[in-house]
Amino acid sequence: MSDTEIRHVISPACDDAEYVREVAEAKRALELWTMEPGFQEKFLAAPEETLAAYGLSIDVLSVRILCVRETALEYQKRPPGDTPRAARRYRGFLQEKIEGRDRMARESCVPKHPAFRAWRSRQLNRCWVELGMKNRSLIHVPMTFELDLGCSVGCPFCGIMAGKLQKVCPYDEENAALWRGILSFAKETVGDAVGDATCYYATEPLDNPDYEKFTDDFFDVFGIVPQLTTAASMRNPERTRKYLLEALKKERRVHRFSVLSLDILHKIFETFTMEELLCVELLPQFAEAPHNMFAKTGRARESELAHVAEDENDTIACASGFIVNMAERSIRLMTPCGSSKEHPTGEYIVAKESFSDLEDFKRVLVSTIDRYMAKELPKDQPLFLRPTVSFEETAEGVEFFRPNKLRLKFRGADDLSPDLYHDVLRKLRGGGKTAYDVVGELMEETGAFPANVFFVLKKFEQAGLFLEPYEIDKKAP
């Protein structure tokens, strides 16, 4: 952070109470702007009075810059010093959050297991072409956990269509030993990357009365407090407060509350101070919120299906790896994809298997990795470009793309001419040729060097542009 007036507030914590208050007030102003019906109109008509009525002493210009697009654009053109300190400090806070998330996707979520690492990397790269900038918000965590089967909340917008709560995994002697064994084996096999897991997925974390005990063990193994996202923050406010307090004492990170109604928003504001909510993102998930956030996937997609354009393939699935369900004792291997009729929740479920005890968990995990995660695609295996991705030859090389998403460009350089990319692409168009076929045919027809052809094929493979072997199997009649 080059601005000397900007500091970290999440980690390490900032010990300057005034600084924290300034950022917390900016955060509150944005929360009101995005969630409180009528706030925008009141602020625009009488800014000072409105901020004062909500107990905010932040300057009006900072709020305008953070909330009003035209003012933000105007101040982008001016020297940074023209932007008031509160707005700059809030942006520093935002930047800190974004950097933390990007670090997870790029570094900390990378498994140490070589085949798992290669598979995850192909999925992450595939998602750039398939999902575009949406992929930036997906960390592709290699493992995550569910402590229950189903969810008691039943949100009408649930992006992963969680079913009704059927079973809770109690933290009894047997399950505690199994849990600790699973965490240790996951760390040994997949690595520290499992530390970025959450202890919820298609579940509400606070449905489990022993959530705190499970996450204490998690902290013992990984030294990390799993990020909490709860839609039940106000079910037992004292439990939520106590958990947050303890969690933030152990590790500073951002947790999240899904706000399901205006009434819940007001209760959250009454229950927690602005400073207490500094490390809690409030997600506006109710219809009256001026900037409500419903991902167009899962139940929200179903209810809005008529309004979802063909190329709006949303997802909230953030794992390229395993979801371990402790209540059902199952493991599913999945990776994000754009939601569609075939994949309504924006998840591609590759495999699912049950386990009975720790030894069985180990067997299922290892055999699933061995079976589905190729370190590299075999050279004698037929290659099929993803049918969901379009491609075209360009003057520089080739480009892969989906409508309105990013274009992935491969350019010729040095001894790799654009023609080589064109030739390789032409060989792949029909599908079914192996790497050896492509190399052999191009050697004979154009005199291409095998190493160069393999190099191009490898680049396409690493970009996740080829169907995985298990996807080809599913295509077969």
12 is written with which tokens?
Answer: 């390490």
- Grouping H, G, I as helix, E, B as strand and the rest as coil, residue 17 is helix
Give the closest residue to 183 by CA, choosing from 149, 145, 157, 227.
145
Smaller CB distance to ligand SF4: residue 32 or 228?
Answer: 228
Mode of pairing for the β-strands spanning 407-411 and 397-401: antiparallel
Smaller CB distance to ligand SF4: residue 105 or 151?
Answer: 151
The yes or no reply on residue 204 touching ligand SF4 (CB under 6 A) is yes
Q: Which of 86, 124, 127, 158 binds ligand SF4 (CB under 6 A)?
A: 158
Kindly report whether the peptide bond that precedes residue 226 is cis, defined as omega within 30 degrees of 0: no
| CB of 171 vs ligand SF4, minimal distance in Å | 21
# chain residues binding ligand SF4, by CB under 6 A: 10
Residue in the structure block whose two tokens are 């379009």: 390
Pairwise CA distance, residues 86 & 375, whole Å: 48
Smaller CB distance to ligand SF4: residue 154 or 440?
Answer: 154
The yes or no reply on residue 155 touching ligand SF4 (CB under 6 A) is yes
SS3 sequence, 68-137?
A: CHHHHHHHHCCCHHHCCHHHHHHHHHHHHHHHHHHHHHHHHCCCCCHHHHHHHHHHHHHHHHHHHHHHHH
| CB of 138 vs ligand SF4, minimal distance in Å | 16
Query: Do residues 262 and 282 make contact, with C-beta atoms less than 8 angstroms apart?
Result: no
Query: Do residues 406 and 129 make contact, with C-beta atoms less than 8 angstroms apart?
Result: yes
Residue in the structure block whose two tokens are 């930047």: 95
Smaller CB distance to ligand SF4: residue 126 or 255?
Answer: 255
R_g of the chain, CA atoms, integer Å: 25
The yes or no reply on residue 162 touching ligand SF4 (CB under 6 A) is yes
The yes or no reply on residue 247 touching ligand SF4 (CB under 6 A) is no
| CB of 207 vs ligand SF4, minimal distance in Å | 8
Q: Taking the alpha carbons of 213, 219, 225, 229 in that order, is the dihedral positive or negative?
A: negative
Q: What is the DSSP letter of 474?
A: H
Per CB under 6 A, which region of 102-110, 155-163, 180-188, 273-281 contacts ligand SF4? 155-163
| CB of 286 vs ligand SF4, minimal distance in Å | 12
Per CB under 6 A, which region of 66-74, 151-159, 180-188, 363-371 contacts ligand SF4? 151-159
Tell which positions 16-75 bind ligand SF4, by CB under 6 A: none
Smaller CB distance to ligand SF4: residue 131 or 162?
Answer: 162
Amino acid of residue 355: F
Smaller CB distance to ligand SF4: residue 207 or 468?
Answer: 207
Element (H, E) at 463: none
| CB of 364 vs ligand SF4, minimal distance in Å | 24
| CB of 317 vs ligand SF4, minimal distance in Å | 12
The yes or no reply on residue 153 touching ligand SF4 (CB under 6 A) is yes
Smaller CB distance to ligand SF4: residue 62 or 345?
Answer: 345
The yes or no reply on residue 318 touching ligand SF4 (CB under 6 A) is no
The yes or no reply on residue 344 touching ligand SF4 (CB under 6 A) is no
Pairwise CA distance, residues 131 & 459, whole Å: 19
| CB of 453 vs ligand SF4, minimal distance in Å | 47
Name the β-bridge partners of 331. Answer: 324, 353
Pairwise CA distance, residues 377 & 464, whole Å: 11
Tell which positions 212-241 bind ligand SF4, by CB under 6 A: 231
Smaller CB distance to ligand SF4: residue 330 or 394?
Answer: 330
Per CB under 6 A, which region of 153-161, 242-250, 288-296, 317-325 contacts ligand SF4? 153-161
Smaller CB distance to ligand SF4: residue 81 or 163?
Answer: 163
- Grouping H, G, I as helix, E, B as strand and the rest as coil, residue 195 is helix
Per CB under 6 A, which region of 36-44, 154-162, 272-280, 426-434 contacts ligand SF4? 154-162
Find the length of the chain. Answer: 477
Tell which positions 279-308 bind ligand SF4, by CB under 6 A: none
Q: Which of 67, 202, 280, 324 binds ligand SF4 (CB under 6 A)?
A: 202
Query: Do residues 285 and 155 make contact, with C-beta atoms less than 8 angstroms apart?
Result: yes
- Alpha helices by DSSP H, listed for 132-204, are 173-189
Smaller CB distance to ligand SF4: residue 9 or 202?
Answer: 202
Kindly report whether the peptide bond that precedes residue 469 is cis, defined as omega within 30 degrees of 0: no
Smaller CB distance to ligand SF4: residue 87 or 155?
Answer: 155
| CB of 155 vs ligand SF4, minimal distance in Å | 3
Give the closest residue to 350 by CA, choosing from 364, 329, 361, 336.
336
| CB of 293 vs ligand SF4, minimal distance in Å | 12
Smaller CB distance to ligand SF4: residue 62 or 203?
Answer: 203
CA distances from 35 to 8, 283, 287, 399 (A): 26, 9, 10, 41
Smaller CB distance to ligand SF4: residue 86 or 228?
Answer: 228
Element (H, E) at 417: none
Q: Which residues bind ligand SF4 (CB under 6 A)?
A: 151, 153-155, 158, 162, 202-204, 231
